[in-house]
């Protein structure tokens, strides 16, 4: 069984609550354990995962957050750089599921975050566990 760290960018709390519910549900349904830590925003997700990975306490990681397009270029920077950072960690061998929503508006975020609809939090957790299992298979 895996011990999973959920790292959430708690910028939109009500949306993150849904992502967290989905992620925790998927992890627990698979018989795995988990802990959760919070960072201010999506740009801090890769750094927090990298720091936690150094501890050796976790087998897999789930990055959760919501980035909603605004009126400035900031959306692109946050969306692209957080995704790049998470992908770099994955390519370095960490089992990371990316559950960062990048959406145009809150309505899109609700559909994707809600465990009864798209359940992207649960999907990210399942991806992290699948990578953990694949890494074990190839070890």
Catalytic positions: 74
136 annotated ligand binder:
no
Task: Read off the DSSP letter of residue 108.
Answer: H
CA distance 57 to 62: 14
Determine if residue 68 is labeled as part of a ligand binding site: yes
What is the C-alpha to C-alpha distance for residues 71 and 82, in angstroms, rounded to an integer? Answer: 19
Confirm whether residue 69 is marked as ligand binding.
no
Task: Give the C-alpha separation, 138 to 132, whole Å.
Answer: 10
DSSP state of 44: G
- Residue 112, annotated as binding a ligand: yes
Q: Taking a C-beta distance cutoff of 8 angstroms, is the pair 96, 61 a contact?
A: yes
Q: Flag whether 16 is marked binding.
A: no
98 is in an annotated binding site: yes
Binding site for (2S)-2-hydroxy-3-oxobutyl phosphate: residue ranges?
A: 71-72, 112
Binding site for 5-amino-6-(D-ribitylamino)uracil: residue ranges?
A: 11, 42-44, 66-68, 98
């Amino acid at each position: 069984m895996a011990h999973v760290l959920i790292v959430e960018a708690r910028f939109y709390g009500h949306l993150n609550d849904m992502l967290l519910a989905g992620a925790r549900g998927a992890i627990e349904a698979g018989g795995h354990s988990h802990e959760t830590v919070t960072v201010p925003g999506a740009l801090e997700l890769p750094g927090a995962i990298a720091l936690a990975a150094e501890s050796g306490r976790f087998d897999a990681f789930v990055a959760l957050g919501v980035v909603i397009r605004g009126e400035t270029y900031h959306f692109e920077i946050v969306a692209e750089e957080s995704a790049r950072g998470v992908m770099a960690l994955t390519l370095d061998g960490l089992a990371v599921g990316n559950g960062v929503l990048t959406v145009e508006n809150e309505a899109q975020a609700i559909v994707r975050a809600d465990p009864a609809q798209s359940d992207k939090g649960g999907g990210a957790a399942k991806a992290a566990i699948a990578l953990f299992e694949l890494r074990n298979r190839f070890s």
